[in-house]
Amino acid sequence: MTDFRLQILHASDLEGGVDAISDAPNFAAIVDSLEDLVDNSITLSAGDNYLAGPFFSAAGDITFRNSGLFNDIYNQIFGLPNETINHSYGGLREGSGRVDISIMNIIGFDASALGNHEFDLGSEVLRTIIEAEYRGAGLADDRWVGSQFPYLSANLNFAADSNLSGLFTTNILPNTAFQTNPTASLAGTTTPKIAPATIIEKGGEQIGVVGATTQLLESISSPTGTTVQGTKANDMDALAAILQPVINQLQTQGINKIIVVSHLQQIALEQELITKLSGVDVVIAGGSDTILANGDDNLRSGDTPANTYPIVTTNADGDPAVIVSTDGEYSYVGRLVVDFDANGILVDANGSPLDEVSDLDLVINGPVATTEDQVIALWGSTEAAFAEGTKGNLVKQLTDAVEGLVAAQDSNVFGRSEVFIEGRREQVRTQETTLGNLSADANLFFAKTIDATVQVSIKNGGGIRAAIGEVDTNGTLLPTQENPFSGKQTGEISQLDILDSLRFNNGLSLLTVTAAELERILEYGVAATAEGATPGQFPQVSGIQFSFDPSQQAIVFERNANGRVTSVQTEGDRIRSLAIVDPDNGQILDVIVENGQLVGDANRQIRLITLDFLAGGGDNYPFPEFGENRVNLTQPSNATRTGVATFAADGSEQDTLAEFLAVNFPIGGNTAFNIVETPPEEDTRIQNLNFREDTVLDVPGELISGTPGADILIAGTDFDGVNDIVFTGAGNDEVDIPFGGSRAGDNRIFTGSGTDIVYIADGDRSFGGSGNDEIDATEATDYRLSGGTGNDIFYLGADGRALGGDGNDIFYVQDGGGNLLSGGDGVDQFWILTGDLPSAANTVLDFEIGTDVLGIGGQGAGFDFSDLTLSGNNIAIGTTTVATLNGVNTSSLTAANFAFV
């Protein structure tokens, strides 16, 4: 028999970014509804509840004080004044992070783990966010209310932390004992804010909640005095030995329902940990943003689950236990509804021990996406969800205030892009990405203006927090979109985009390393790469290309008590090829590793630029042991700022990216960033040999440069046409790659401002300039074409991508099919059939009804609109689908949208 039903609403990595402006109110509204559907409901977080960035910083603006918004919010939360308290708040003040914590207070979180990002700005900042600041005898002069829930961690030592030691208690108290509410203020009560564990009471039952923080805290964040107990590496046996005594204390008090909120950053660690803990029923995993879901769960566009919701396993007692996790940044509310028997064992509806996911009611279990549709599904309307007095309404008041402040940042623009610039967590921590390349290139570009000997740029993927661009409801990746409130146009990259992507705004440092040290640094960068893992140490680079094999031995370092590298314990064997290359043309300048072996003088010196965070050993990088002649390039925040970007200190990574964009992809210029993200199979700077062959050290192609006049460049005559880079220059030029024969292909062709004609071979990438270009890929496959500005014409083969860009472009497809077409701005023609039916449908990514035209030719006299079959997104002739229109219901098309010849 079931004895007690508990609903656990959960989240982690809330990390308010720009998307939180819309998602956080929806999150609050969904919690507000769901918690009323089950009698016993609690809300928990697994940590990383805030992150430095525009959202975090906005709360420090004095407008929050002048408007009295925090006073209004907390007077509503506590119902002030009331019959027993004839006081109200009147002096609550601004402070970075106070919107983030206020959102959690409004939602009603019962407890949270301490994550690593809570410490990013030091312990003092954490203290000012969670600690109340009482002033005077009443409430009117109080400056801050603090967090209204306990932060939990059983494996951190706060004794030497002057900011946090006074807020920590070793006692296991009810979660209400951590609240600094009006009663506590009026009584002058000293209230703890941090503990190893807490007790939540619901329906007459006590639930124990224990916290755990990543053992890597001191190397990936900036605690000032707080230390990790025991080992400072991922060691689940050691962590379990610290947690179990706390769990035992709860059990001694007769508590038999125990939850661990853990922030270990890789869900595989939580899966290992639960098997080593006795008495634990539920683990809420944080830090990995792992989406767990079942087939009936409605996920956001582009999201896919990594495993079932929940993961059903067993604890060290052999009793049922479950692990839950979901994506962060307010994107989902996790919902776990479980039943316990009288002994605190998880059971199914029949009272039998839980042993598989299907034993749960999957209709009510799973992640709830924080979309408007889900809000309406629960509330009936957005008006009801955000009516006065609702949690959604209170949170929206805060996010509206933040939106007003960040709109100014979105109006300050520096560059342009025609494409989505990939910087999402799963990609940037596992493979080469366009934002990783762009920001690493920017750092190297800046470094060379200071020291011309710098050759290499290395940063960690974990320092990139968001992509630059948007994902539409169909999952299509788009460049930044127009913001009518700020005046930003589609494709423009603003201060806000940069702040949101590079939220840490690390400083930059120069270091000199040896060739052997560079190899080991990169060995460490890929040491944690494994299926399903998203390690923050994964490198993003410029000035080098390398390949690695994740199946080989990872490097292991000896470390001291502070986690700093002292020597190599086990050499790594993952880096198979490594070369320093010219960042402008890709020519190999120096081979460092070939066939897994170091080449040449191991002690030859290499100057590089990296983040000051990594140079100091952050993310456990071995730079303090490897590297000398360090020069910090970032200027003090109060120094005079130069250049076109003055919102960040000179030489910081935000400033460097903004200045790089302004020089290379300027607003009002003819050149926009247009490099499309590629899958690991096509990555060239960082080659994962699980996905592709190693071509790092292949003999590079030639660099071919045209003249300002009209050039004819023919492969096989002027160059071999294999892996070459061609710059045509100005003038009306012609480039013919297929003439080079069957080996021709894999070239990069950059045309200038003239009216150019380019014939494409397999694997070529062609980037048009500002003229009216003609690009012919009829003999090719696997190509990438960009017309740039101008009215361009494309003739397409098979399995390629073509981006028209600005202008009135025309696309003609052949019978190969499988192409992705994007017209960009302008009146575009997509000739989706020009003869024989295609072997695979072509996809049009951005067809605009009433503007663009679909063309059909070569089907004989009398063929017209009535011969087409329109269904869903597809256009078919007979049983053959010839085209798919993303985001378009083809039933809305008429003959007027087509041209027939």
What pLDDT score was predicted for residue 250?
A: 99
Decide if 209 is inside a domain. yes
By residue range, what is the domain housing residue 754? 691-900
Q: Give tens-digit pLDDT for 208-246.
A: 999 999 999 998 888 989 999 999 999 999 999 999 999
DSSP 820: E
Decide if 113 is inside a domain. yes
Q: Using an 8 Å Cβ cutoff, are 746 and 721 in contact? A: no
DSSP 725: E
Q: CA 377, 380, 386, 387: dihedral to nearest 10 degrees?
A: -160
* Domain co-membership, 437 together with 553: yes
φ, ψ of residue 67 to 5 degrees: the values are: -80, -20
Which residue, of 362, 393, 424, is where some domain finishes? 393
* Domain co-membership, 386 together with 417: no
Q: CA 15, 19, 25, 31: dihedral to nearest 10 degrees?
A: -60
* Domain co-membership, 589 together with 700: no
SS3 per residue for 196-216: CEEEEEECCEEEEEEEEECCC
* Domain co-membership, 419 together with 387: no
| Structural domains counted in the chain | 3
High-pLDDT (> 90) share of the chain, %: 81
Which residue, of 365, 393, 421, is where some domain finishes? 393
* Domain co-membership, 108 together with 139: yes
Q: Which CATH number fits the domain that encloses residue 466?
A: 3.90.780.10
Helix (H, G, I), strand (E, B) or coil at 127: helix
CB atoms within 10 A of CB 853: 15
What pLDDT score was predicted for residue 824?
A: 92
Decide if 78 is inside a domain. yes
Tokens, residue 458: 């290395």
Decide if 405 is inside a domain. no
* Domain co-membership, 771 together with 646: no
Q: Give tens-digit pLDDT for 642-654.
A: 999 999 999 999 9
Q: Give tens-digit pLDDT for 140-179.
A: 999 999 999 999 999 999 999 999 999 999 999 999 999 9
What pLDDT score was predicted for residue 699?
A: 62
H or E element in which residue 702 lies: none
Which residue, of 602, 629, 664, is where some domain finishes? 664
* Domain co-membership, 639 together with 762: no
Can you give the pTM of this predicted structure?
0.64
CA distances to 461, 505, 576, 585 from 594, rounded to whole Å, are 25, 35, 6, 21
CA distances to 454, 543, 593 from 600, rounded to whole Å, are 19, 19, 9
Rounded CA-CA distance 310/482 in Å is: 39
Decide if 275 is inside a domain. yes
* Domain co-membership, 251 together with 126: yes
* Domain co-membership, 63 together with 174: yes
864-883 CB burial, b ≥16 within 10 A, e <16: eeeebebeebbbbbeeebbb
SS3 per residue for 634-647: CCCCCCCCCCCCCC
Helix (H, G, I), strand (E, B) or coil at 535: coil
Rounded CA-CA distance 499/54 in Å is: 6
* Domain co-membership, 830 together with 758: yes
DSSP 722: B
CB atoms within 10 A of CB 248: 11
Q: Using an 8 Å Cβ cutoff, are 100 and 28 in contact? A: no
Rounded CA-CA distance 801/66 in Å is: 53
Contacts for 577 with CB less than 8 Å, ≥ 6 apart: 545, 546, 547, 593, 594, 595, 687, 694, 696, 697
* Domain co-membership, 369 together with 445: no
Low-confidence ranges of the chain (pLDDT < 50): none
* Domain co-membership, 619 together with 741: no
